[in-house]
Amino acid sequence: MSRVATASCPAVFISAPASGQGKTTISAGLARYYHNKGLSVRVFKTGPDYLDPLILQRASHHRVEQIDLWMMGENYCRQLLYQAALDADLILIEGAMGLFDGDPSSADLAEFFGIPILLVINAKAMAQTFGAIAHGLTTYRDTLKFAGVIANGVGSQRHTDLITLSMPELIHLLACFPRKPEMELPHRHLGLIDPDEIDDFDARLNRIADEIAQTDIDVLAHPVEFVESVAPIPEKKLANCTIAIAKDAAFSFIYAENIRLLEALGARLLYFSPLHDKAMPNADVLWLPGGYPELHKEQLQNNHTMHQSIQQHYQAGKKILAECGGMLYIQKTLTGIEGDSVNMVGLIQGDGHMRTRSGCQGMQSAMLPEGEVRAHAHHHSRSENTLEPIAFGKRATHPAPGEAIYRSKGLTASYLHLFFPSNIEAIVELFSA
């Protein structure tokens, strides 16, 4: 009988009672603190998220990947953590939303792998109630392990004293972080801002790391054993396929796992910029991922030669996958929050409108003719005057129809962001020339 390979590595799961508590700030600060100490830190982000990983990657100086039981499956998650544990000194996992939100939740993921939880609670506008919230979260499910609690956004020494006195004896208050604007990470409508857009980003990370150095945080005291999960190596079914991938400030929402799968399938990948290049590369398939086309809509409108090259690709009947922001780009128009409208590529009818509130959110399966592919949606826009959908996404936890899926010639377009490894055969068929 063959012995199952294991790897042990200290690990901690950073969670909170809700979104907006400072999980990413603390996770990035911890990653930078331990990196500055000369340790190899691997960070993962729970759930579908493109922006937080950019911050965590900058903080840790290592690639950051998503980890999610529903979207990826248990074996895929297990292998990611096992591989990280082979050479990391510390594994950090940032949760999503509140600790018990979602199905599966951050608590489910932490419990599945036996990883102790570090709770981040924003203490603004509360005092002794802090201890009650910490007590409730740490005792709600007795199968969870906890490394301790961090009070974030503390206003004064008196505030710190009140929080400290409120804590139950068996819960370790690891730190009280002060409320300082220079330690905050800027936001916009879809979440945190790309660190490349923030001039003093590294200085902010180092200030957070310096605050951590003043505390008694010691997350390295919790080694966790991770088990190998060997996946079959895919055949080179896309060996004769060249895929052009849009990648720039307007189109950047790309899972590293999707890229690795396409490479493992033998595809040749060519990156280009719809913002700056005159034309897309000569390719069998065009992939337009999500991003922020609304922030660059005038520049995208004015790149007429790029429009022409994409239109030629489409008219030739070649394959195109347009996800979320990519779909807004290939419709007729895009209108900003202020009502200013610009022309887009116009492959299919449809008018995109940015809005202040979010649209259809959460986990969904894309019910494609090629097969069911796990995916998610997250956007602050709507599309009107569109084609008739060929299908709708299937929500993970709700019976209502999800995002519309459109087809025209070789084009597949939707607000859904696909996770390719969830159905390799469907992705092969979707991308096959």
Known catalytic residues?
324
> Would you give the DSSP letter of residue 127?
S
| 371-377 and 417-418 beta bridge pairing | antiparallel
Bridge partners, residue 173, by sequence: 149
Rounded to 5°, the CA angle 272-418-406 comes to 85
Query: Tokens 């919790």 identify what position?
Result: 222
With 0-12 CB in 10 A as exposed, 13-18 as middle and 19+ as buried, what is 354? Answer: buried
Helices (H) and strands (E) in the chain, counts: 13, 26
Cα distances from 235 to residues 94, 154, 266, 425, in angstroms, run 33, 54, 8, 10
For tokens 């790029």, the residue is 306
208 in Cβ contact with 25 (< 8 Å) = yes
Per DSSP, 374 falls in state: E
Q: Find where tokens 């996958």 sit.
A: 321
Residues 354, 293: Cα–Cα separation, whole Å? 10
Dihedral (Cα; 76, 82, 83, 88), 10-degree rounding: 140
